[in-house]
Amino acid sequence: MADQRQTREIRRTVRRVKNYWYRAGVPRKVRRDKAEELHAHLLEAVNDGRRVEDVVGRDVAAFASEWAQAERPRPLLDVFLQVVAAVTLLPGGLALLNPWLNTALGQDDPRTGLPVESLAFLAVYVPALVGWQLVRVLRHRLTTQQAAILGVLLFIAYAVVLFPVTGWGRNTDAFVVLQPTTAWTLVIIGTAIQGLASWLKRSRR
Amino acid sequence: MSSDETRGSRLLRGILDACLLALVVERDRYGYELATALHEAGLPIVKEGSIYPLLSRLERRGLLQSYRTPAAGGPPRRYYRITSDGHRELAAAREVWSEVSIGVDAVIGRHTRDDDGGPTDG
């Protein structure tokens, strides 16, 4: 059986490996599962008279790095493409839907574009989406302190964008006219970028 | 680490995934069991944890599947089982290894015979 010193060493090693994975961007569930697997292995190895070093080698960071690479953290490019796709698709889609929505709501406004409700939705949704994706991608690569600073900065940026846009919309009954050709172009570009992101993801498997 | 160990590890790097598949094809196994089996077979694995990145890659490629099982008196274990793609990959790897090992034996064996017998004059 592993004695107290060995148990401490095992815990310390697993924690170091997990911290490395966290910074390398390995997803949380994978980190938890693999850390559990490593912990079980180390425990069994020590119980059989082997050392922690026999399992992970002398360089724990190199060991963790090799494993992290095998787990393939989500690349920044995927997130960037998905955000761009959403930011392009949403306004185009909403603009095209506007005449249909108006008809459904019994209003007589056949214009293709973004009424104040759509603008308010975009003002809330797009920065929230971008912020959330940024946090998702970067939180693995940042220390707790850096992540907290990022969170505060995003919140400030969000407030700076949100309040003026919604205030302006409420006061002016704004409507951004988008020509159907422009709206369709946005939708097509967004769909193509989303398709590219999905294809990249599949091709890496 | 001795230079023999390093050479052994380097040589093993390209074929270790096939060794893991060959062990898992016998029966479902977990990481520690695989490492022990490789040690017992006399394979020069410098650090036994190095099998885990390979297991992850094999799982990602769909050659292995893993599942978690509670273990008596210890933390749960993650067992690996081979898939049909894994069977195909192993068959292909066995074929390649057979060809390569015959070729390497022929070359290295020939040099050993030359060294043993000294230079041959015509």
Do residue A36 and residue B78 have CB atoms under 8 angstroms apart?
yes
- Report the pLDDT value the prediction gives residue B122, as an integer from 0 to 100: 41
Q: Provide the number of CB pairs (under 8 Å) joining chain A to chain B.
A: 69
- Report the pLDDT value the prediction gives residue A189, as an integer from 0 to 100: 93
Q: Is A114 helix (H, G, I), strand (E, B) or coil?
A: strand
H/E stretch holding A115 reads strand A113-115
Q: What is the pLDDT of residues B50-95, one digit of tens each?
A: 899 999 999 988 999 999 998 877 788 999 999 999 999 999 999 9
Largest CA distance in chain A: 81
- Reply yes or no on whether the pLDDT at A81 is more than 90: no
A67 contacts on B by Cβ (under 8 Å): 49, 52-53, 56
- Report the pLDDT value the prediction gives residue A37, as an integer from 0 to 100: 92
B70 HSE (CA, 13 A, CB side): 2
Residue A31 near residue A22, CB atoms below 8 Å: yes
Q: What is the mean pLDDT of residues A144-149?
A: 75
Nearest CA in chain B to A50: B48
A40 contacts on B by Cβ (under 8 Å): 30-32, 71, 74-78
**Neighbouring-strand partners of residue B29:** B80
**Neighbouring-strand partners of residue A177:** A113
Q: What is the mean pLDDT of chain A?
A: 82
Nearest CA in chain B to A47: B74
Of B32, B56, B77, the CB nearest to A67: B56
Q: Would an 8 Å CB–CB cutoff place B32 in contact with chain A?
A: yes
Nearest CA in chain A to B49: A55
Stronger pLDDT, B41 or B120, i.e. the higher one: B41
- Reported as a pLDDT band with limits 50, 70 and 90, residue A42 is very high
Q: Would an 8 Å CB–CB cutoff place B39 in contact with chain A?
A: no
Contacts of B77 (CB under 8 A, 6+ apart): A37, A40, B30, B31, B32, B68, B69, B70, B71
Do residue B71 and residue A40 have CB atoms under 8 angstroms apart?
yes
Of B50, B57, B78, the CB nearest to A37: B78
Q: Would an 8 Å CB–CB cutoff place B74 in contact with chain A?
A: yes
Do residue A71 and residue B31 have CB atoms under 8 angstroms apart?
no
B64-71/B74-82 β-pairing: antiparallel
CA angle A62–A67–A72, rounded 5-degree value = 120
Q: What is the pLDDT of residues B25-48, one digit of tens each?
A: 999 999 999 999 998 888 867 678
- Backbone φ and ψ for A50, nearest 5 degrees, come out as -95, 170
Do residue A44 and residue B52 have CB atoms under 8 angstroms apart?
no
DSSP one-letter string for B47-78: -GGGHHHHHHHHHHTTSEEEEEEEETTEEEEE
Of A41, A48, A69, the CB nearest to B49: A41
Q: Would an 8 Å CB–CB cutoff place B113 in contact with chain A?
A: no
Q: What is the mean pLDDT of residues A142-163?
A: 75
DSSP one-letter string for chain B: --HHHHHHHHHHHTTHHHHHHHHHHHS-EEHHHHHHHHHHTT---S-GGGHHHHHHHHHHTTSEEEEEEEETTEEEEEEEEE-HHHHHHHHHHHHHHHHHHHHHHHHHHHHHHHHHH-PPP-
